[in-house]
Amino acid sequence: MSGSKSKKKGYRGEAEFAKLTQGFRVPLSGSTPHYKHDVMLPNGWAVEVKRKKTGFTTLYNWLEQQNSPDIVAFRADYRPWVVAMTLDRFLTLLNKE
C-alpha cells in the first residue's frame, strides 16, 4: 500500500472509531507534541488507532475462541501487560450501550 493510501486508511479508521465511541478525532495527530494521539474519548482517555489487513490474526483468534473471553491479556517477556477486548465489550465498560 502506498503512503497516501495507508494514510487515508488510518484516517478512516480514526474517524470510524471516534464516531463509534462518541469521541473525537484529534487533528494533526502525531505530527506535533501537542497532538500525540489519534482519538480522545469522552472520559479523557487518549487512544492510538491501528488498522492492518492481517497483522492481528492471532489476537482475533484469541478473542473469537469457542467460549469467547471478555478480555485477552498478554505480554512479552520484560514488557508490560496489554489488555484487548471487542468494541462491544469496551462500550459496555464505558457505559455507552
pLDDT tens figures, 52-71: 888 899 999 999 988 889 99
Higher pLDDT, 32 or 24: 24
Does the pTM exceed 0.85? no
**Rounded distance between C-alpha atoms, residue 89 and residue 82, angstroms:** 16
Among 97, 85, 91, CA closest to 41: 91
The H-or-E segment that residue 2 falls in is: none
Q: What is the pLDDT of residue 3?
A: 77
DSSP letter, residue 35: B
Residue 29 has pLDDT above 90, yes or no: no
